[in-house]
Structure 1
């Protein structure tokens, strides 16, 4: 290699390292057609074809946007420095790996529940390219390396398993192929989870990616959907160890300025999956003893985003949506006459409407991920496996059932 070529190579490596750090760089020309708000109002279990297709188009565009990109990788040597697409040929877009993964989940969930969307053909073609056997096997090889054992732990892992779960038991030729193609990476992540959970001495209680309550809830849903009772038992045991004795959660301390999760309500959303209904109601009374007052006095209140062009501050839009699905799920796990049921549902709906208005804003900082949180909140896939003491209550975007 000549001195000039070495300099050029070094410059290329520097650029590759710097690009992921440019959090908030808006890709030129992307989403310029957006009106800045969702085109129509939505409600739980109600999503119009127009809005669903707009969100599908948003995700279809984003999952092929390679830069800007935040890879958050540990490099052993310079030979490992590669572009996002070289490392992650399936999930290279949407700014980061986990956003790409859950963007694919959005496409699968919309395609499965609303197969006549105008974008359905494009969704199938895109998933066929991204979720190829070769692409997923390359990603499995990446995750198998020791230096990457904590990469996307457990947030990205949980979303990947949610994607696998969405494809499970779908009698569709394309879906069956995509489901099989995911298995190599699924096996690697299962091994990582099996190794990690026994070592996790304490729960991680934060309003961002690493919150343990969210991940355990997703893992429990996955273990039931794919019939892995051993994993379900480990997750339930871990949840009880971490959270069963919790009481007097400082609800007024939330949110922090960069939160997109409520660690409080993620925990409650997990425990309603773990505990029988009567035991859960008793646990909730100790966990948030003043919830009835706090749901109406402004303590648990939808929040505004001060700057949608700031990649951290726009997290608060996701917080509204996360609270929406958690509050609703907790309400559905309570008896019909419970004093918190209606206040929880009212607050959940207010949070949903406060969060949805930021989806498809025309700013990539939120547009690369918020459609996922909105679709999750509206369709609540976490309810499809029921609470520990209640029957299943599956939902879909096309549902027209009454609020439970």
Structure 2
């Protein structure tokens, strides 16, 4: 599973979904803390960049999807449209307005930690692309002030946070740290990297026999246990992770719960449809973990990756908008996240 499994046609399909979503203004779930009776405006007034794709964080990871596809297929048929979109969206003035929103006293916890993690992941992807695509430097420079702000905010938050959030939704601590770690590495943000590594070990370093039988919750799109394992794999060397995994891994009967895709019974419900995301995020986890697992488990991980992809991939581009406004990003993670990256 080391190479990208995102083929050209699927990448093109996902890019077109993202291009459409970014420009789709409504419906939009505005998460806004009003400071007074007159403190009310539409999404674009507060978020001139990330005002489409149903909500702020989904818009961010749709932008990330475009950058990732451009990195994999720079000569894609839709590459000119992608570049034009990123030129129009990632402008310094518009990104400055996004930063200004985060600096409002009443916005200090806006999108923490999920949106913070995705914004840092977007910046990491832009910085990686800029290494061989000079034009991407303009997009990265436009996003840099917001990324720097969120890096500092996340470091401060981690210093003060005594406990993790383990639920498999937007508040999950491990997922946000995995996303942010990509930025910390490529930007050589040593303060953020130290904060992530320190908190990961403190929160998760002593976990044993993870109770996988309690997963999933009815609206979860992440596996708390597998996502935690991805984080620990990212902050440990191979031998240390192998020792940690041996103590952490559930028993055989419970492990089967992670190896088997979940059934989604109501794809019209925005919360129930999260379970398609759970299948794709589990596939992402198995893709990243498989090379570091004990030999007997590796074929099972590869099979689990394939089964979870098969169960939910079609919904990423062809499902209802409650799914298509975000799900393709998780499909790209599952198919094309760099191993060890």
Shorter-normalised TM range = over 0.9
Larger radius of gyration: 1
Rounded to whole Å, the distance in 2 between the matches of 1:145 and 1:157 is: 15
**Unmatched segments (≥5 aa) in structure 2:** none
**Offset of residue 287 of structure 1:** 1.1
Deviation at 1:218, TM superposition (A): 1.6
Per the TM alignment, residue 234 of structure 1 is displaced from its structure 2 partner at its CA by: 1.4
Q: Is the Cα–Cα contact under 8 Å of residues 295 and 347 in structure 1 kept in the other structure? A: no
CA distance in 2, matches of 1:294, 1:347: 14
Q: C-alpha separation between the residues in 2 aligned to 1:295 and 1:344?
A: 11
Q: Cα deviation per residue 1:185-226 (whole Å; 9 max; x = unaligned)?
A: 112212211221111110001110010011111222221111
Q: Partner residue of 1:354? A: 311
C-alpha distance in structure 2 between counterparts of 1:249 and 1:323, whole Å: 15
Q: CA deviation at 1:117?
A: 1.4
Number of aligned residues: 339
Quick check: 1:111–1:123 contact (8 Å CA) kept in 2? Answer: yes
Instruction: Specify the alignment match of 1:181 in structure 2.
Output: 142
Alignment of 1:131-210 (within 5 A): 131-169=90-128, 170=130, 171-210=132-171
Residue in structure 2 matched with residue 345 of structure 1 by the alignment: 302
Corresponding residue number in structure 2 for 1:47: 6
More helix by share: 2
Q: How does 1:3-402 map to 2 (within 5 A)?
A: 45-169=4-128, 170=130, 171-290=132-251, 292-296=252-256, 300-334=259-293, 338-381=295-338, 383-385=339-341
| Residue 180 (structure 1) shift | 0.4
Maintained 8 Å contact 1:302/1:354? yes
> TM-score normalized by structure 1?
0.81
Assess if the C-alpha contact under 8 Å between 2:152 and 2:192 holds in 1. no
The answer to whether the 8 Å contact 2:87/2:139 transfers is: yes
CA displacement at 1:77 relative to structure 2: 1.0
Aligned-residue RMSD, C-alpha: 1.7
Query: Any conservation in 2 of the 1:44–1:349 contact (CA below 8 Å)?
Result: no
Aligned to 1:15: none
CA distance in 1, matches of 2:41, 2:149: 21
Give, in angstroms, the shift of residue 293 of structure 1: 4.4
Please list the CA deviations of residues 89-145 of structure 1 after superposition, one character each: whole Å capped at 9, or x if unmatched. Answer: 111101100000000000011112101211111111111111011100001111011
* Deviations, residues 6-54 of structure 1 (Å, cap 9, x unaligned): xxxxxxxxxxxxxxxxxxxxxxxxxxxxxxxxxxxx9972223222111
Structure-2-length-normalised TM-score: 0.95
Is the contact between residue 123 and residue 143 of structure 2 (CA under 8 Å) also seen in structure 1?
yes
Residue deviations 1:280-338 (CA, integer Å, cap 9, x gap): 11211211241x44444x56410122122111111000000111111221221235xx3
Give the whole-Å Cα distance in 1 for the aligned partners of 2:293 and 2:2: 21
Looking at structure 2, the residues matched to 178 and 299 of structure 1 have their Cα atoms a distance apart, in angstroms, of 38
2: CA distance, partners of 1:56 / 1:265: 27
154-163 vs 167-176, which deviates more?
Answer: 167-176
Higher mean C-alpha deviation, range 271-280 or range 92-101 = 271-280
